[in-house]
Amino acid sequence: MSPDILVLIAELIERLRPSNIVECGAGTSTITMALIARKEAANIRIVSIEDSAAIAASVNAELAARNLSSIAAVYHAPLVKRAYEGWHEPFLWYDLANVPIPPTINLLVVDGPHGKTGPYARYPAGPELFSRLDQGATVVLDDAARQHEGELPLYWQQQYPALRWHFARVEKGAAVLTLATD
């Protein structure tokens, strides 16, 4: 993630004070969110999903070294082929079988899987996780300046008409989606 989107996410955490954050794609963002949660002294729990076992282990080690393991945890979830209605080709998406996704999500940060896995690589975040979005929840989609990622809010809004969204001007583009409360 670029520094400007980390600032955007930090501002969202400070303003929204979400109790459950789910992140697709672990890294510096995971540690940054956990540090902000601790600074805010808020009851925030972060579940991060990562397809690389090495990255998951590395980020978990860094979280432990900073005494942040009670706030955030990275779960290794290998990519598996998943088919979704309306799409001809299967996607590579995280195997969530062993990931304790909370029943309600207040902030969802989608920065994975990597775009090299195929076009619209992050589309499955919608059908896999949006049903758990709490009223007023926010979704941040990183890399929205890329052609296929930038089109995802349109596809997601077709399936979830209560989503409202806008593009945020950050280095690699971001879409910020909110689940309307009315």
Burial of 51 from C-beta contacts in 10 A (0-12 / 13-18 / 19+): buried
Confidence of residue 147 (pLDDT cuts 50, 70, 90): confident
Mean pLDDT confidence for 79-92: 94
- The mean pLDDT value for 172-179 works out to 91
Query: Is the per-residue pLDDT at 42 higher than 80?
Result: no
Query: CA-to-CA distance for 43 and 80, rounded, in angstroms?
Result: 32
- H helix intervals, 115-177: 125-129, 147-159
Name the region of 108 (left: φ>0; alpha: ψ -120 to 50; beta: rest).
Answer: beta
Provide φ and ψ at 168, rounded to 5°: -100, 140
CA terminus-to-terminus distance, the chain: 32
* Percent of the chain's residues with pLDDT above 90: 81
Mean pLDDT of 82-95: 94
pLDDT at 182: 62
Confidence of residue 92 (pLDDT cuts 50, 70, 90): very high
Say how far apart CA 4 and CA 167 lie, in whole Å: 13
Mean pLDDT of 132-144: 94
Other residues' Cβ atoms within 10 Å of the Cβ of residue 11? 11
Asked if the model's pLDDT at residue 104 lies above 70, the reply is yes
Mean pLDDT of 21-40: 96
Distance CA 57, CA 53 (A): 6
Q: In the predicted model, what is the mean pLDDT of the chain?
A: 94
